[in-house]
Amino acid sequence: MSHIAPQAARQALRHCSRRLSTASTPAFAAQAPRACIARQGRRSYVSESAPKNATVDVEKTIRQDQRAFLNETGTKPQDAEMPTTGMSADAMMSPAAGILKQATVMDEGTRPIYLDMQATTPTDPRVLDSMLPFFTGLYGNPHSRTHAYGWETEKAVEQAREHIASLIGADPKEIIFTSGATESNNMSIKGVARFFKRSGKKNHIITCQTEHKCVLDSCRHLQDEGFEVTYLPVQNNGLVNMEDLEKAIRPETALVSIMTVNNEIGVVQPVEEIGKLCRSKKVFFHTDGAQAVGKIPLDVNKMNVDLMSISAHKIYGPK
């Protein structure tokens, strides 16, 4: 790997930081955020700014920066090591890559191999790179409809909504963003229960003894509000007995909440069969799909699911 001169480094890194002009050394520039967000005062991540077609293209911007680096230094970014950093210029154009490289070096030989993926996953570098512009240059409120900043972020939010919907076979309009699966479970269970409480006709909920703690806590809280809750046991194989579930459903049952994949023992419940039963009994069906999404095929319509909770940080997304 070749080293580039400090002067060339400063020129090239103008494509990595809007603040480079005030830096006295490449070392400072290496710590500054990337230019792609607002190079020379313009937001080059955005290809067009209009309410209906504002788009964000991170990969395109990185490629443009790589070409500019080559033109200004005569060296490919992946072949050039930035002075004092130990990183290639190519890695510095992808902030996530540089961060992950540093983390790997720090972890090497000092920490055990991470195998607790059902609890949380590391953020994928592509996710981090895609999110970075929205922490710096693309900071508009997506609900602000009167200027380009709002249009840009609104478009990004709607694209994210479409991606999530396609992952579980839902309509984008059905996707609601929350802080995580715990909040989603609370909203789903308490929301349906309290909706029926106002009618005074349904005050019964069915769940499983091996559900996630946040589901069990939500049900206990509703018991304090006067709801009846049936906690179904599981069989030796960890699965709910369908006959027991059918017997537990009664006219005043408002909701059944049973997770798709268990977070501790990994069993996959017969969700499609449960959903079909609930649909025939006119009972709402909620499932915690945090451990299932991204690992097994999911289609909320085929599974007859009314509400599903999923979590980004379980599938290499942000926390």
Do 89 and 185 sit in the same domain of this protein? no
Structural domain includes residue 132: yes
User: Is 153 strand, coil or helix?
Assistant: helix
Structural domain includes residue 156: no
Closest CA to 276 of 267, 287, 264, 262: 287
Closest CA to 294 of 314, 276, 309, 279: 314
Structural domain includes residue 222: yes
pLDDT for 226: 95
Structural domain includes residue 119: yes
pLDDT for 18: 36
Do 308 and 186 sit in the same domain of this protein? yes
Do 46 and 112 sit in the same domain of this protein? yes
Do 83 and 194 sit in the same domain of this protein? no
**Domain ends where: 111, 139, 167?**
139
pTM over 0.75: no
Structural domain includes residue 104: yes
Start-to-end CA span in the chain (Å):
36
Report the distance separating Cα 261 and Cα 53, nearest Å: 38
Tokens of 106: 């720090």
| DSSP assignments along 228-268, one per residue | EEEEE-B-TTSPBPHHHHHHH--TTEEEEE--SB-TTT--B
**Number of independent structural domains in the chain:** 2
- If 0-12 CB within 10 Å is exposed, 13-18 middle and 19+ buried, where does residue 142 land? middle
What does each of the 319 residues of the chain score in pLDDT, given as a tens digit? 555 454 544 444 444 443 333 333 333 333 333 333 333 333 344 444 555 555 545 566 667 777 887 788 887 777 776 565 555 666 555 666 656 665 655 556 677 888 999 999 999 988 998 999 999 889 999 999 999 999 999 999 999 999 999 999 999 999 999 999 999 999 999 999 999 988 888 999 999 999 999 999 999 999 999 999 999 999 999 999 999 999 999 999 999 999 999 999 999 999 999 999 999 999 999 999 999 999 999 999 999 999 999 999 999 999 8
Q: Which domain holds residue 263?
A: 176-314
- Helix (H), strand (E) at residue 81: strand 80-81
Do 299 and 214 sit in the same domain of this protein? yes
Do 241 and 290 sit in the same domain of this protein? yes
Strand 307-309 versus strand 204-208 pairing type: unpaired
Structural domain includes residue 168: no
Report the distance separating Cα 203 and Cα 219, nearest Å: 12
